[in-house]
Amino acid sequence: MTFLYLNSDRMGEGDPELGRKLMISFLKELEKSNVRVDMIGAVNSGINLTTQDGQALEILKRMEQKGAKIATCGTCLEHYKRQDDLLIGQVGTMDMTVMVMAAADRIIRPN
């Protein structure tokens, strides 16, 4: 099983706008590659990818159509007061994240 761990809505350090562009580019390339993603977890600012309309959400929707399950951190949604904004997937828990990470053959984490 391959787990895509999105712990930010950006890729890399430095300019936030550039980081968001890089994340979109990464997600586009991953989606069109032959890499099968079975599970996607969004935590911390990564929840912006599942709670805001935009290119990232459209890419995640296509990945979901290909069979990826998507879970967004419930604690993070509460922290950012975004519980009612989830646009894709389900609310996840930390025990779910631990179990998925422990069972995954591969974890992809864009930094």
| Per-residue pLDDT tens over the stretch 51-103 | 999 999 999 999 999 999 999 999 999 999 999 999 999 999 999 999 999 99
Global confidence as pTM = 0.94
> How do residues 13-64 score in pLDDT, each as one tens digit?
999 999 999 999 999 999 999 899 999 999 999 999 999 999 999 999 999 9
**CA dist 7 → 40, 44, 45, 75 (Å):** 10, 6, 6, 13
Domain 2-108 sits in CATH at 3.40.1260.10
Rounded CA separation 54/36 (Å): 22
The reported pLDDT for the residue numbered 94 is 92
CA nearest to 33, candidates 66, 61, 57 = 66
CA 85, 35, 106, 37 dihedral sign is positive
